[in-house]
Structure 1
Amino acid sequence: MNPMQRLILPGWMDSDADHWQSRWQRLYGYAKVEQADWQWPRRGDWMARLDEVLLALDDPAPVLLVAHSLGCQLVAAWAEHSRHTARVHGTLLVAPPDTEHDAMPPQLHNWRPIRRGRLPFKATAVLSSDDPYCALARGAEMAGQWGATVVMAGPRGHLNSASGLGDWPEGHALLDDLAAPGP
């Protein structure tokens, strides 16, 4: 088992009990970054919370971030501003939403503009061809700007519990690949 700590970063409204992130918490004991407000997420608050959690870790080993949906936008925004990005070895970015799309609910408007800077650590982005929250071309564009390797999941919706992924072993294999040494 790789000694890297894995931090779960759920999206808007948190991950329900059947979501692969929640299953990974139960199966592997991964820690989740809890947010004070899952209903009205404020980007600055979520970024500060990620910093707090990283600084509170007792283990100085590198960390893998496991982000879904708005958690992906959190990683991109946090990486542009935090002084603690060196703590992160890599990130799995699953189903990043297009928060600039006109159809996004008002609770997510403060996540505009999308941060597009290249991430300072390894990244893999998993995209679905029929994600209702992000067109495939838009997701691929964001992933490219972030410097992430793109993995196509096929038509799997938003890659959440409604997608029927269960424990999602394919996703966990991608996370394990990110834990490998090197750039």
Structure 2
Amino acid sequence: MNYSTEPAVIIVPGLNDPTPDHWLHQLACSHARVVPRPPEGAHLDRDAWVASLESTVSAITDDIVLVAHSAGVLTVVHWAQRPSREIQAALLITPPDFEKPPTNAPEIRRIGAAHGWCPIPRGRLPFPTTLAASTSDPFATDRRVIGMAEAWGSRPVHLGPVGHLDPAAGYGPWPRATSLLTELISTTTHSTTEVHR
């Protein structure tokens, strides 16, 4: 794969559209494309989200870096079980745990079971990834998220107590998204294809 040019950045959001004050929305406005939300009635469905990601990826001829937040992380992981093409890398941020969420988030377990998100794939991902984890996420324990990082072969980044890294937790602007993305692109730009196998 040729990494001589800047890759296309594709944002894979969670199950809810990012609000204008969400750092993900601000990142999208700056220089990225967003995977379209599936139609009403399918907006919680794993297969619909994977199909939307596939449609977005297949329409781009440039190298691609994904930035995924919340359930968007699991969209990427499910898509990666049968990717249609190579991508350069993915930045994965605060995934929820649909299998064993914290006891105060039973709705997460219901969504996971009813809409195809479980089981969460545990195979090594076929492209480099950085996974940013929170120690105070209401939708996943940091121990479970770090376990996901280990299974996927991701480089873990410990963010500390940042909640679900959304406006409800005070984010809003999050400049570190840009720095993590820049670092990921830089470290994978000169990788050989062996890294992606």
CA contact (8 A) 1:92 1:124 kept: yes
Q: How many percent of aligned residue pairs carry the same amino acid?
A: 34
Aligned to 1:16, the other structure's residue is in SS state coil
Asked if residue 10 in structure 1 is aligned to residue 13 in structure 2, the reply is yes
1:145 aligned residue: 151
Q: Determine which of 108, 112, 127 is the counterpart of 1:108.
A: 112
Q: Report the equivalent of 1:158.
A: 164
Post-superposition CA distance 1:60-88 (Å, at most 9, x none) = 2211101000000011110012222x1x1
Q: Does 1:33 align with 2:39?
A: no
Q: Distance in 1 between matches of 2:153 and 2:17?
A: 26
Equivalent residues, number: 177
Is 1:44–2:26 an aligned residue pair?
Answer: no
**Residue 20 (1) aligns with residue 23 (2):** yes
RMSD (Å) for aligned C-alpha atoms: 1.6
Cα shift readout 1:129-170 (whole Å, capped 9, x = no counterpart): 010000010000011111100001110100112222333111
Deviations 1:93-123 (A, max 9, x none): 0001101126225333220100111111110
Change over 3 Å in CA distance of 1:78–1:154 after alignment to 2: same
CA distance 1:175–1:38, shift in 2 (3 Å)? farther
1:90-101, aligned counterparts within 5 Å? 90-101=89-100
Report the Cα distance in structure 1 between the residues aligned to 2:39 and 2:8, rounded to whole angstroms: 24
Off by >4 Å, runs of 4+ in structure 1: none
Distance 1:107 1:145 in 2: 23
> Equivalents in 2 of 1:76, 1:92: separation in Å?
12
Residue 43 of structure 1 contacts residue 74 of structure 1 at CA under 8 Å; is this kept in 2?
A: yes
Mean CA deviation greater in 109-118 or 125-134: 109-118
Instruction: Find the aligned partners of 1:38 and 1:94 in 2 and give their Cα distance.
Output: 25
In 2: Cα distance, 1:64 partner to 1:175 partner: 9
Structure 1 gaps of 5+ residues are: none
Q: 1:14 Cα deviation (Å)?
A: 2.0
In structure 1, what is the equivalent of residue 59 of structure 2? Answer: 56
- Tell me the distance in 2 between the aligned counterparts of 1:75 and 1:5: 16
- Whether the 8 Å contact between 2:149 and 2:155 is mirrored in structure 1 is yes
Which stretch of structure 1 is more off in the superposition, 62-71 or 11-20? 11-20
Secondary structure at 1:116's aligned position in 2? coil
5+ residue gaps, structure 2: none
> Secondary structure at 1:93's aligned position in 2?
strand
State the secondary structure of the residue aligned to 1:66: strand
The alpha carbon displacement at 1:38 in A equals 6.6
